[in-house]
């Protein structure tokens, strides 16, 4: 029986894919400790892991602020990572020395997990819920002038934070060495090789296991008289009243049925009287919905796109920041979706018509679905972790 430690940031998109993996490891008889945040305690304990709260050590940020830092303000993200690492240092290093884990599995943005593994010389595996990044794929990150400027003016602060890590005996050369995994780093990537951009530039230490989708009952997709359009901007940056209003205007009283998920903080009544063909909710079961949807209008978060492709659903692509734009570009490049040319109702309507009139979009989405399903998911991810630990023990 192995002892495995997980670390993640307080974000649904980075935590959710690990939950089926934790369940799989626990079911195989291994012990799992999971350093996370109170919002995810029920999910983590439900998977069979021992939950350890880190909330008091993280700077007081909302999920919206965290998402913006991760996607747009790189200097602020590095500052948060270093401050969190230093705040957790005494507690976590003591606990890990007591537990004596066989392995640390840490999210690709939860750099403190990686730093603890390096400091204590514990075998480390990176858990990547977005695309894998190296020096080649990093060039695809087309940052805006504002993002580049924030990075430039933030460099003095970044360098001070890197020196602070060195003062705490963390062996880091520069900020690049923290954020980028080289080809010698064992890395689990929750997508298929076929969907990963420039997959050939990664070594065999990268395991592309496909989406880690929770267990769900199979749903009959009977032939319907009307097409179903599903609309969601995810769990974080979803308070976008003008966008929802444009969706209502685009699809009101059409031959489509529309299910729109607007987020827990959005007041549905603000949208006014809704057309009969619209169902608007604060949240929906996305896995269940995508089993019957014909088109998904999405913000292009990696989890949402992966789930859509897993069920072969083509997408209208509405990315909100640079990371999501890379995902949207890849979907469009592989012919499984259409990027919006504008935010107005006419652009939404035109994109949906284009997909429905061209069966190729669905066919391409279904081809990617096959690669996702064949990649292995949580079971293969567990195999990768256990195999790597066995090799290290020899």
207 close to 375: Cβ distance less than 8 angstroms: no
Question: Do residue 190 and residue 66 come from a single domain?
Answer: yes
Residue 141 CA: distances (Å) to CA of 29, 129, 131, 134, 204: 40, 16, 11, 11, 24
And the tokens for 320? 């909100």
Specify if 33 maps to a domain. Answer: yes
Question: Do residue 139 and residue 238 come from a single domain?
Answer: no
Q: Coil, helix or strand for 277?
A: coil
- Give the torsion sign (CA, 208, 213, 217, 221): negative
Q: What's the pLDDT score for residue 159?
A: 78
Question: Do residue 281 and residue 133 come from a single domain?
Answer: no
* Residue 373 neighbours by CB distance under 10 Å: 16
Q: What's the pLDDT score for residue 147?
A: 54
116 close to 54: Cβ distance less than 8 angstroms: no
Question: 385: closest CA among 30, 12, 49, 120?
Answer: 30
Q: What's the pLDDT score for residue 187?
A: 95
Question: Do residue 205 and residue 259 come from a single domain?
Answer: no
For residue 336, the enclosing domain spans 227-373
Question: Do residue 145 and residue 203 come from a single domain?
Answer: yes
Question: Do residue 312 and residue 177 come from a single domain?
Answer: no
And the tokens for 40? 């995810």
Domain tally for the chain?
A: 2
Specify if 221 maps to a domain. Answer: no
Specify if 218 maps to a domain. Answer: no
CA angle, residues 147, 150, 155, in degrees to nearest 5: 130
Number of residues that this document lists for the chain:
394
102 close to 4: Cβ distance less than 8 angstroms: yes
Specify if 222 maps to a domain. Answer: no
Phi, psi (rounded to 5 degrees) for 6: -110, 145
Quote the DSSP letter at residue 127. E
Full-model pTM:
0.87
Per the DSSP assignment, residues forming a β-bridge with 36 are: 53
And the tokens for 295? 């088109």
Q: What's the pLDDT score for residue 169?
A: 75
Question: Do residue 43 and residue 191 come from a single domain?
Answer: yes
Q: Can you give the pLDDT of all 394 residues of the chain as single tens digits?
A: 899 999 998 888 899 999 999 999 999 999 999 999 999 999 999 999 999 999 998 876 555 555 555 545 666 777 777 888 889 999 999 999 999 999 999 998 888 898 899 899 999 999 999 999 887 877 766 555 555 545 556 667 777 777 878 887 777 766 665 666 678 889 999 999 999 999 999 999 999 999 988 756 665 555 578 999 999 998 776 778 899 999 999 999 899 999 999 988 888 998 999 999 999 999 999 999 999 999 999 999 999 999 999 999 999 999 988 789 999 999 999 999 999 999 899 999 999 999 999 999 999 999 999 999 999 999 999 999 999 888 776 5
- The set of residues, in sequence order, having a beta carbon less than 8 Å from that of 267 and lying 6+ positions away, is none
Alpha-helical runs (H) found in the chain: 12-15, 18-27, 41-46, 63-71, 74-99, 111-120, 145-167, 175-179, 241-251, 286-290, 302-310, 322-333, 345-357, 360-375, 377-393
Quote the DSSP letter at residue 294. S
Question: Do residue 206 and residue 330 come from a single domain?
Answer: no
Q: What's the pLDDT score for residue 72?
A: 53
Specify if 215 maps to a domain. Answer: no
Question: Do residue 240 and residue 254 come from a single domain?
Answer: yes
**Furthest CA-CA distance within the chain:** 67
- Give the torsion sign (CA, 123, 136, 333, 340): positive
Specify if 219 maps to a domain. Answer: no
Specify if 216 maps to a domain. Answer: no
CA dist 359 and 157 (Å) reads 51
DSSP line for 308-352: HHHTT--EEE---SHHHHHHHHHHHHTTSEEE-S-SSHHHHHHHH
Question: Do residue 179 and residue 237 come from a single domain?
Answer: no
Helix axes 111-120, 74-99, angle to 10 degrees: 40
Question: Do residue 66 and residue 191 come from a single domain?
Answer: yes
CA dist 263 and 271 (Å) reads 13
Torsional class of 234: left (φ above 0), alpha (ψ -120 to 50), beta (otherwise): left
Rounded to an integer, what is the distance from CA 54 to the centroid of its chain? 20
Question: Do residue 283 and residue 202 come from a single domain?
Answer: no
Per the DSSP assignment, residues forming a β-bridge with 295 are: 229
Q: CATH number of the domain at 104, please.
A: 3.40.50.2000
Specify if 96 maps to a domain. Answer: yes
CA dist 54 and 311 (Å) reads 35
């Amino acid at each position: 029986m192995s002892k495995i430690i997980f670390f993640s940031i307080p974000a649904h998109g980075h935590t959710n894919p690990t939950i089926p993996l934790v369940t799989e490891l626990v079911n195989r008889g291994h012990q799992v400790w999971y350093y996370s945040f109170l919002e995810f305690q029920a999910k983590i304990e439900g998977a069979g892991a021992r939950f350890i709260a880190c909330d008091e050590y993280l700077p007081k940020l909302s999920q919206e602020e965290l998402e913006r830092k991760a996607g747009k303000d790189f200097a602020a993200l590095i500052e948060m990572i270093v401050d969190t690492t230093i705040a957790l240092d005494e507690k976590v290093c003591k606990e890990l020395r007591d537990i004596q884990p066989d392995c640390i599995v840490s999210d690709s943005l939860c750099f403190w997990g990686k730093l603890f593994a390096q400091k204590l010389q514990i075998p480390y595996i990176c858990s990547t819920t977005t695309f894998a990044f190296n020096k080649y794929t990093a060039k695809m990150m087309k940052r805006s002038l504002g993002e580049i400027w924030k990075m430039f003016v933030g460099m003095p602060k970044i360098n001070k934070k890197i020196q602070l890590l060195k003062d705490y005996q963390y062996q880091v050369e520069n900020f690049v060495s923290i954020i980028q995994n080289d080809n010698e780093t064992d890395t689990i990537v929750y997508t298929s090789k076929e969907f990963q951009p420039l997959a050939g530039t990664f070594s065999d230490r990268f395991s592309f296991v496909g989406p880690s989708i929770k267990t769900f009952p199979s749903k009959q997709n009977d032939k319907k008289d009307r097409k179903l359009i599903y609309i969601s901007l995810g769990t974080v940056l979803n308070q976008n009243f003008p966008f929802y209003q444009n969706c209502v205007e685009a699809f009101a009283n059409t031959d489509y049925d529309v299910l729109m998920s607007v987020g827990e903080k959005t007041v549905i009544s603000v949208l006014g009287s809704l057309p009969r063909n619209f169902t608007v909710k604060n949240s929906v079961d996305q896995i269940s919905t995508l089993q019957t949807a014909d088109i998904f209008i999405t913000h292009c978060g990696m989890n949402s796109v992966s789930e859509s492709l897993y069920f072969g659903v083509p997408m209208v692509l509405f990315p909100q920041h640079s990371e999501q734009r890379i995902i949207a570009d890849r979907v469009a490049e592989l012919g499984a979706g259409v990027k919006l040319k504008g935010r107005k109702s006419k652009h939404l309507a035109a994109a949906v018509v284009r997909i429905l009139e061209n069966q190729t979009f669905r066919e391409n989405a279904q081809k990617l679905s096959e690669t996702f399903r064949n990649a292995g998911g949580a079971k293969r991810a567990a195999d990768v972790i256990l195999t790597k630990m066995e090799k290290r023990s020899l």
